[in-house]
Structure 1
């Protein structure tokens, strides 16, 4: 065999190896887990000011308790699990507290604004996965009162359980979520993660060759509220 053909053969062999090993290399050595979804932080928290009863409105908040919502999933890359977190600060909502109980709450998320660190993934999410043109928002509406009596007023966080209706891609289903609640100064801050099976909401997890997405994940939120 001539030297020229040996060189060409070597180049072809390297190219084939790169194509075969590329996904494994990416999944094993390059891809990294995202940071966990936002959760209530007591860093710098202050004792609560004023009573909890009243009308509350979702506001942007400030670090480390900035309002955000989104999702957490696992991507499977040739056997390598990579945690992906998508989030947005484009969140609105309100809540009503009467006699120490959360009696009404609604949170709305602009789904098209949810982003990860990968624009191609975000394009798939907004288009084929969530069809944001037809279903631009996701919502959570409280269905039953939540007693806030156990939430501390000294700048530490407490836990409550909330039941409500989660609407994704036009499908509304009942959900239960454990919520961490913090009263700090004049702010009321809450975070939680709702476990979901995507197909229950008419969402088909992507499967694109060597990359697939788990059929279950979580819908995550951290909301900072101030009295209206």
Structure 2
């Protein structure tokens, strides 16, 4: 009787372990691949200071400090082996400058080194850099330019943010699109920090989302940026 009971308990225990493994497998897989990342479009204001200089002048991109450092990239959804995944690619290889006169953003141009883009999976990055997708060898730089002058008079100087609508020209893979974007702007100490996420349809930029059987990439996504600038 005791032997039979022990055998029954062993079988029940084994089934319980199998059930836990089956139920947990998707979450274990998700953790193993690094989980869903967060796009670099958030500005942290907890440590922000009041502005220490006026707006007018020539401002250049600097690396900045975490959590508001300079970064650019993209966000896109994909189905990877049947699981929905949000992919975020980023790079801190960003340069550029902006000119402000009498509180108006007159010009702004920013360049992104596409070879620096990376996600949590190296094989995905190699595919993204290939000639079939971003063609980094043929188009190593993407650009973002302010298309029209922008009044920055609504941006406070007390370490809080304002949202400023802009028209920009985005160039990826040699193709340029003009598009609106809502830009969050913070003046803190001697810096201006600006961030935004530009909704895009990849084929409008000459980028064909791959579909390889085990992975299918959504036709839409965002081009993301957060730049820290200091007056030159």
C-alpha change, 1:41 and 1:155, in structure 2 (3 Å) is: same
Equivalence map 1:1-80=2 (5 Å): 29-31=28-30, 32-80=35-83
Which of 181, 187, 190 in structure 2 is aligned with 1:183? 187
Q: What TM-score comes out, normalization by structure 1 length?
A: 0.86
Equivalence map 1:62-141=2 (5 Å): 62-127=65-130, 128-141=132-145
Q: Does 1:143 align with 2:142?
A: no
Q: What TM-score comes out, normalization by structure 2 length?
A: 0.85
For the Cα contact (< 8 Å) 1:58–1:226, is it kept in 2? yes
For the Cα contact (< 8 Å) 1:50–1:186, is it kept in 2? yes
Q: How many pairs were matched up? A: 204
For the Cα contact (< 8 Å) 1:43–1:64, is it kept in 2? no
For the Cα contact (< 8 Å) 2:165–2:181, is it kept in 1? yes
Q: CA deviation at 1:175?
A: 1.1
For the Cα contact (< 8 Å) 1:78–1:210, is it kept in 2? yes
C-alpha change, 1:47 and 1:75, in structure 2 (3 Å) is: same
* Residues 107-142 of structure 1, C-alpha deviations (whole Å, 9 max, x = no match): 100001100011000000011310111000100111
Match in the other structure for 2:205: 201
Q: CA deviation at 1:78?
A: 4.9
Q: Does 1:155 align with 2:159?
A: yes
Q: CA deviation at 1:43?
A: 2.0
Q: Partners in 2 of 1:172 and 1:214 — Cα distance?
A: 20
C-alpha change, 1:90 and 1:26, in structure 2 (3 Å) is: farther
SS in 1 for 2:51: coil
Q: Which 5+ residue runs of structure 2 have no aligned equivalent?
A: 1-23
Q: Partners in 1 of 2:54 and 2:37 — Cα distance?
A: 37
For the Cα contact (< 8 Å) 1:69–1:222, is it kept in 2? yes
Q: Does 1:213 align with 2:217?
A: yes
Q: Which 5+ residue runs of structure 1 have no aligned equivalent?
A: 1-24
Q: CA deviation at 1:80?
A: 2.7
C-alpha change, 1:36 and 1:164, in structure 2 (3 Å) is: closer
